Amino acid sequence: MAIISYQNLATPVVSPISGFRGILPRQEALLQIRQCLTAVENNAFKRGCVYNNITSTETALVGDLHARTDNLSEILRHNGNVDKFTDGRLVLVFLGDAVHSEEDPQEMDSSVQIMQHIFELMIATSGDNAIYVHGNHDYLPKGINRAVSSGATVTQSLLHRQRLTELYGEEYTSLYEQIMNKCPLLAIGHGFAGVHAGPITQSMPIEQIEQLDPADEGNLFVYETQWNRFEEDYGLPNVRRFMQSIGQPDGMLLVGHEHLQGGHWVEQIDPQFSIINALGKKFGYALADNGRVSFVDAGTN
């Protein structure tokens, strides 16, 4: 087998549990992704495309990371979060779009690295206490286009697929896609719900939401959770109707997707609605505890 170049990985970061630096060699990567698929399939709290874990356990919700593995590492170290997670005292919910660097749209090794770190977390608790909510950047078949400095346009999802296959072969890429297609569109906990982009704007019972297929990007309701933007596509009445329909009338809806201005990582629009991300120099996470949601600054990189 040809030697694989890892030169594109400018920032190798130690993984949260095993302490591996950078991205995994081929055999270790294949073992990990097989274990992760099993964890996702056997998740005790997932019914269809809904993760529903209404317990008193603290839950940390992390918005778009866009390949900022350094920010993820800081969030996990903050306040002993990784220890609380491995001890079963903290649930981790990622709101999608952990992949695709905003700084270099063509570089994909950082996307490989961050997902392997998240996979490691998902395996650690058999998938029950770490969940990855599907985001619009998490599709491999269809393209997310990004302009580069030369003025050309690159299709990030295709570059991502190509890099996964180059590093690990077609089996790995297929397993990766299977995991993404089994990720939930919606995560529900005590006093909160999380989706990537926005609520389903039509009133829909939770049993019907469970039947949606994340891979069916052409489905209107799936599309709304992946692509909609606040004020352009939905408003606070939609948020309140959605929270009522999923049994969280007094809870807060948390979404990612939006890139906030002024270096902010959180914008609390309403007591029932907030936007978060973790991709900037300043970053943090939402912490849900006994029905209350607070916002925690985790650091500056």
User: Which CATH number does the domain housing residue 101 bear?
Assistant: 3.60.21.10
Assess contact for 234 and 198: CB atoms under 8 A. yes
User: Is 22 within a domain?
Assistant: no
Residues 6+ apart with CB under 8 A from 296: 60, 78, 79, 284, 285, 286, 287
Assess contact for 94 and 122: CB atoms under 8 A. no
User: Is 63 within a domain?
Assistant: yes
Residue 170 confidence class, pLDDT cut points 50, 70, 90: very high
Residues 6+ apart with CB under 8 A from 79: 296
Residue 73 confidence class, pLDDT cut points 50, 70, 90: very high
Helix (H) or strand (E) holding 50: strand 50-52
User: Is 131 within a domain?
Assistant: yes
Helix (H) or strand (E) holding 59: strand 58-62
Residues 6+ apart with CB under 8 A from 175: 30, 33, 34, 37
User: Is 168 within a domain?
Assistant: yes
Tell me: pLDDT of 4 over 50: no
Structural tokens at position 44: 């005790």
CB atoms within 10 A of CB 213: 13
Rounded Cα distance between 26 and 47, Å, is 32
Tell me: pLDDT of 182 over 70: yes
Whole-number pLDDT of residue 174? 97
Residues 6+ apart with CB under 8 A from 80: none
List the single range of 65-69, 102-106, 226-230, 286-290 with lowest mean pLDDT: 102-106
How many domains are there within the chain?
1
User: Is 21 within a domain?
Assistant: no
Whole-number pLDDT of residue 9? 59
> What's the average model confidence in pLDDT over 226-246?
97
Domain that holds residue 168: 46-300
Residue 7 confidence class, pLDDT cut points 50, 70, 90: very low
Q: What are phi and psi of 253, to 5 degrees?
A: -95, 130
User: Is 145 within a domain?
Assistant: yes
Q: Between residues 74 and 143, which one has the greater pLDDT?
A: 74
List the single range of 141-145, 183-187, 230-234, 254-258 with lowest mean pLDDT: 141-145
User: Is 276 within a domain?
Assistant: yes
Tell me: pLDDT of 209 over 90: yes
**Mean per-residue pLDDT over the chain, rounded:** 92
Q: What are phi and psi of 203, to 5 degrees?
A: -60, 125
- SS3 of residue 25 by DSSP: coil
* Residue 143 identity (one-letter amino acid): G
User: Is 121 within a domain?
Assistant: yes
Whole-number pLDDT of residue 301? 79
Distances (CA, A) of 217 to 135, 136, 146, 151, 220: 11, 9, 19, 28, 8
In angstroms, how far apart are the furthest CA atoms of the chain? 56
Whole-number pLDDT of residue 195? 98
